[in-house]
Structure 1
Amino acid sequence: MAAITAQKFGSTMHKLGSFPIPPFSVRKRSIYRSIYGIKLVQIKSIYSNMEKRKWVVPKNSYRTVCNAGAAELGGSGIGSFEELTEQRLDGEIRPKKKKKKKVSVAGVDQDELVDPLNLADPDSLFVEFNGVHLHHKVADFSSEISAASASDLDNGVTTKENSISTSIGIPAILLHGFGATVFSWERVLKPLAKLIGSKAVAFDRPAFGLTSRIEIPATGKLSTMNPYSIGFSIAATLNFIDLLQSQKAILIGHSAGCLVAANAYFEAPERVAALILVAPAIVAPLVIGKNDNTNRIPSKRNGLDDNSTSEEGENPFRKIRVMLFKLWTGVSRLVVNMVQEMKAMANTLYRKILSVILRSNFAVMLVRLIMDKYGREAVRNAWYDSKQVPDHVIHGYTKPLKCKGWEKALLEFTLAMILDSGSEGKPPLKKRLKDISCPVLVVTGDTDRLVPAWNAERLANSIPGAKFEVIKNCGHLPHEEKPEEFVAVIQ
């Protein structure tokens, strides 16, 4: 290094190349030692402002020597001057702030989340229902026929190709499964509208797609229905029938969407024309029984009828027996009430604990980790041949990860699904399947790895008059993998 010289500042002699000493700047010394690990720094020129007691360092005054000093440390991993420091306008040099590491989930940058409305497609539509903006798309057969007819007339062509019988004339509402969106119906929406000769509507259920995410209070109490509950999806489905200005509609559900379709039927059976259940995520009953009420036992109050004769009053043993029976009945009721109250308390405690866990920051981090690691793989695994999944399909499923609050909404949906508050007081769905009286078609792929084909077949057998169809070389998504065959099966 060059020879060290000295220069006098006021009454203080300072050696050029050494560190400033108090009262000039103690902080600079710690900066240099922590960053460069050297004791001597040669400075080309130093200026002193004695009034402010602050060093003013000209630009680039440290650059050459500091880099040389870092090199003398034998490549200790210390970065260059430009990488580690920044110079303020007043000449003061400070260490650079570390850039925040970008976080991505399934390839989607989580630092640039936007409102779902900003991700809408040109054909996207939104309708407000109970404070939730439901994203949906509509395929209108009549408008397409009118456009085609007008085009044919302009070209002087007459054709009967589009004159399909519109004897059905009933709209269809398409309900996607868990983790899916309107995108999953993209390839069959227009063909289905053409098939039924009416409108086909697909909408994003809350927590999925581009439907708005509603923040649930920490208390979990809402003035309206929980938008993430199955009850809300059922109400929204019936509301779409009203929006279509129709008395009935065909409900087409896929996977978990079949739960919404089936429950919507029991909510308003007169408004459901038919059910089409695709790869239904409904647990079929193990034993297919009959609706038989002949085994009911008449109540006779332990053999005592109301036509008691005077002999009862004259028989002391019978009186004792009646008193003991009443006492036993009272004790039994008391025990049953206590058990029910304890069960209710345990259920309430369970709900509170589960709510706290799923609404915690840890749960948010966990769901991000799961979606990042398994999200795209789950889509590929749903296909018959995972290697044939196009990139645009993966993009269609990961697009909603750009929405603000997607992870919290997914957790709220999971919480509502577990608690299942919408079906309290009702028997399980699998016990009510035998009561479905509308036409039912069950469709599945022969290699469905998520919902086995045997479960779909057993489900079809448990519904009176239901038809069962299997699409060969197809996985969990028949309407995406084999759209032509899917439409043909429905026809």
Structure 2
Amino acid sequence: MRSCAGTWVLPNYSKVSCFNGNNISLSFPSRFGSDTQKYTVLKSFPIASAASVSGSGAQYSGSDQLLDVQTKQKKRIAGVDQDELVEDPKLLADPDSCFCEFSGVEIHHKVYDAQLQAHEAESVSSETKSVVTSMILLHGFGASVFSWNRVMKPLAEAIGSKVLAFDRPAFGLTSRRDSVRHLSSGNGESKPVNPYSLAFSVLATLYFIDFLAAEKAILVGHSAGSLVAVESYFEAPERVAAIILVAPAIFAPIITQKVVEGHQSGTNNHTEEDGSNSNNMGNPFIQFSNILSKFARFISQAIMRIVKGMTVMLSSLYKRFLSAVLRSTLAIMLVRMLINKFGIAAVRNAWYDSKQVTEDVINGYTKPLRTKGWDKALVEYTAAMLTDTASESKPPLAKRLRDIKCPVLIVTGDTDRIVPSWNAERLSRAIPGSYLEVIKHCGHLPHEEKVDEFVSVVKKFLQKAFDDSPQQRPQVVV
């Protein structure tokens, strides 16, 4: 094969001509006449070793290179090459990123301090600084600190204090660790705590309140982060000044009127029973029937206790089996497949107008997929969520919601496709005295899609909630 001014002449009067610097055109005589047959291949394939022409056709022998390209595409998950993962998440950090260790886990977080800004220092009085309240932002499933980037500064300026957002384990750039760690409790004892569990996220939230040197903090939870905010309140209600739930992924109970008639009915039954007993004291058949009835109740209660014990045992065995399945190689493969197929689509679906989802947004959400162990961490998180035993000793959350005493704001988008707005409306009825704000033409991410409206809603809520408590209220800058 010889070269001539950008054209390679091959045997059997065939030619390979280069055009536009990108493609290569093969042409050679047809077996049926003088017309030529033309084929175009990528210029990146080496012609000298990969292409051969013989008489009536061309055969490309570079299948290995093509197979390598296909294999590399298969190794990309949500557009991220899984052969180029980093061991240390800190290598992917932003200039304003911070890391701190909590119970053996390096937690990635960001802090915006309004008081450090010159213009804020001039506008906030010294008296206000002493009673100012900080704010902690808790992201949802599959999100990270990135989700709060647009509102951290305006929220900090609104309260005139510090706003902190951190990545919960399994998400963002927080380190991936073993499933069980020993965490020191308040009384000096240590107990095993799964870093991927809800309990760990609650303890980490309370840790960051101390980290900010704040007496109390306003907790802002988005989607699944709302559950962390609520459970943090129940863990230490004296440390929480207010709760803001954004598109809360908390299943709201159906509020029903308390049945008062049951007590009255019981009273009437008791009276009737007394009357019947007085009338039938001398009837041996009635007395014998009552004895049999009491004996039957005793036997049924004993059977129910046995069944309950068997249920607990079977539940424990089921959870062990489920935990083993969730931590299997098959589960990891399933997680990778789901993230690859639905990850980016879920981000777009979370917005009211998916056309506003830019490449920067996609890159922000997929950055954690560039760290080693992200898939195993998601599996561990799922296993911890489905096999959580710590919550079994507590009453159901639906029954505890009415016990929340601090100010609560619930924000939802009217076109939320992930957590419908009707759930937020029902949740507002389950939490006494809570405020509900519905943002129009907004999806699952009000703090990303409608920044100005979201911040305005938060300001209005804080002014109302703390208007009667000047000693605790934050300085809301309008």
Give the TM-score band, short-chain normalised.
Answer: 0.7 to 0.9
Q: 3-state SS of the aligned residue for 2:395?
A: coil
Pairing 1:325-336 to 2, within 5 Å after superposition: 327-336=295-304
CA distance in 2, matches of 1:471, 1:413: 31
1:196 corresponds to = 159
Deviation of 1:405 after TM superposition, in Å, equals 0.7
1:316 and 1:110 map into 2 onto residues whose CA distance is: 83
**Partner SS state of residue 252, structure 1:** strand
Which whole-Å CA distance do the structure 2 matches of 1:292 and 1:483 have between them?
46
Identify the residue that residue 140 of structure 1 maps to in structure 2: 113
| 1:262 corresponding residue in structure 2 | 230
Q: Which residue of 2 aligns with 1:33?
A: none
Distance across 2 between alignment mates of 1:68 and 1:434: 75
Q: Distance in 2 between matches of 1:468 and 1:69?
A: 71
Please say if 1:251 is aligned against 2:224: no
Find the counterpart in structure 1 of residue 210 from structure 2. 242
How far is 1:318 from its partner?
A: 8.6
The Cα of 1:248 is off from its aligned counterpart by: 1.4
- The alignment's TM-score, normalised by the length of structure 1, stands at 0.71
> Take 1:302 and 1:353, find their aligned partners in 2: how far apart are those partners?
51
CA shift, 1:355, in A, is: 1.6
**TM superposition score normalised by structure 2:** 0.73
Q: Structure 1 residues 231 and 289, CA, compared in 2 at 3 Å: closer, same or farther?
A: farther
Moved more, 476-485 or 126-135: 126-135
Instruction: Name the CA distance, whole Å, in 1 between partners of 2:429 and 2:50.
Output: 79
Please tell me whether the aligned partners of residues 281 and 451 of structure 1 are also in contact (alpha carbons under 8 angstroms): yes
| Identity percentage of aligned residues | 56
1:87 aligned partner: none
Question: Which residue of structure 2 lines up, in the alignment, with residue 340 of structure 1?
Answer: 308
CA apart distance, 1:98: 7.2
Q: Is residue 101 from structure 1 mapped to residue 71 from structure 2 by the alignment? A: yes
Residue 56 of structure 1: aligned partner:
none
Give the C-alpha shift of residue 356 in structure 1: 2.3
Residue 427 of structure 1: CA displacement?
2.3
Whether 2:348 is the aligned partner of 1:376: answer: no
Q: Which of 1 and 2 has greater Rg?
A: 1
The alpha carbon displacement at 1:295 in A equals 2.9
The match for 1:420 is 388
Aligned 8 A contact 1:177 1:253 in 2: yes
Once the two structures are superposed, the pairs formed by residues 291-330 of structure 1 within 5 Å of their partners are: 295=263, 324=292, 327-330=295-298
Alignment partner of 1:213 is 2:183 = no
Contact 1:168 1:196 in 2 (8 A): no
Distance between the aligned counterparts of 1:196 and 1:75, measured in 2? 72
1:131 correspondence with 2:104 = yes
Counterpart position of 2:133 = 170
SS at match of 1:224: strand
1:246-276: CA deviation from partner (whole Å, max 9, x where unpaired): 2211111111111111111112212111111
Amino acid of the structure 1 residue aligned with 2:165: A
Q: Evaluate the alpha carbon distance shift between residue 169 and residue 67 of structure 1 in structure 2; reply closer, same or farther with a 3 A threshold.
A: closer
Aligned CA distance change for structure 1 residues 182 and 302 (closer, same or farther; 3 Å): farther
What's the offset of the Cα at 1:344? 1.8
- Cα deviation code 1:214-240 (max 9, x no counterpart): 2338xxxx9621111111111111111
Counterpart of 2:243 (choices 275, 287, 299) is 275
Q: Deviations over 1:175-213 (max 9, x none)?
A: 111111011011111211111122111111111001111
Counterpart of 1:230, as a letter, is L
Residue 367 of structure 1 and its aligned partner are, at CA, apart by 1.2
State the SS of the aligned residue for 2:203: helix
Please tell me whether the aligned partners of residues 229 and 416 of structure 1 are also in contact (alpha carbons under 8 angstroms): yes
In structure 2, what is the Cα distance between the partners aligned to 1:169 and 1:161?
10
Match of 1:111 among 41, 60, 83: 83
Cα distance change of structure 1 residues 68 and 190 upon mapping to structure 2, 3 Å threshold: closer
1:394 maps to a residue whose letter is: I
The match for 1:59 is none
For 1:54, the equivalent position in structure 2 comes to: none
Q: Distance in 1 between matches of 2:191 and 2:124?
A: 52
List aligned pairs for 1:359-398, cutoff 5 A: 359-398=327-366
Q: Secondary structure at the match of 1:424?
A: helix
Q: Which amino acid aligns with 1:449?
A: R
Please state if 1:464 is matched with 2:427.
no
Matched, 1:186 2:149: yes
Aligned residue identity for 1:125: C
Which SS does the other structure have where 2:312 is aligned? helix
1:474 counterpart = 2:442? yes
**Alignment match of 1:439 (pick from 398, 403, 407):** 407
8 Å CA contact 1:132–1:211 kept in 2: the answer is yes
> Contact 1:167–1:197 (CA<8 Å) still a contact in 2?
no
- The AA in structure 2 aligned to 1:107 is G
| CA offsets 1:81-128 (integer angstroms, 9 cap, x no match) | xx79xxxxxxxxxxxx97993211111111121121221222111222
SS at match of 1:101: helix
Q: 1:365-424, CA deviations, whole angstroms, 9 ceiling, x for partnerless residues?
A: 121111111111111111110011121111100000011110111111112212232311
The alpha carbon displacement at 1:360 in A equals 1.6
Give the secondary structure class of the aligned counterpart of 2:117. helix
Find the aligned partners of 1:69 and 1:100 in 2 and give their Cα distance. 23
Q: 1:321 to 1:292 in 2, by over 3 A?
A: closer
2:51/2:58 contact within 8 Å kept: no
Q: Which amino acid aligns with 1:136?
A: H
Matching residue within 332, 340, 352 for 2:320: 352
CA–CA distance in 1 between the matches of 2:50 and 2:337?
41
- What is the identity, as a one-letter code, of the residue corresponding to 2:76? S
Q: Which one is further off, 263-272 or 349-358?
A: 349-358
Q: Flag the 1:168–1:194 CA change in 2: closer, same or farther, 3 A.
A: farther
The structure-2 alpha-carbon separation of the partners of 1:390 and 1:161, relative to structure 1 and needing over 3 Å to count, comes to: farther
- 3-state SS, counterpart of residue 252 of structure 2: coil
Assess if the C-alpha contact under 8 Å between 1:249 and 1:271 holds in 2. yes
- 1:452 deviates by 1.3
Gaps of 5+ in 1: 1-65, 85-96, 150-158
Counterpart in the other structure of 1:120: 93
| Alignment correspondent of 1:60 | none
Structure 2 counterpart of 1:203, one-letter code: F
Once residues 303 and 441 of structure 1 are traced to their aligned partners in structure 2, the CA distance between those partners, rounded to angstroms, is 49
What is the distance in 2 between the residues matched to 1:193 and 1:454?
30
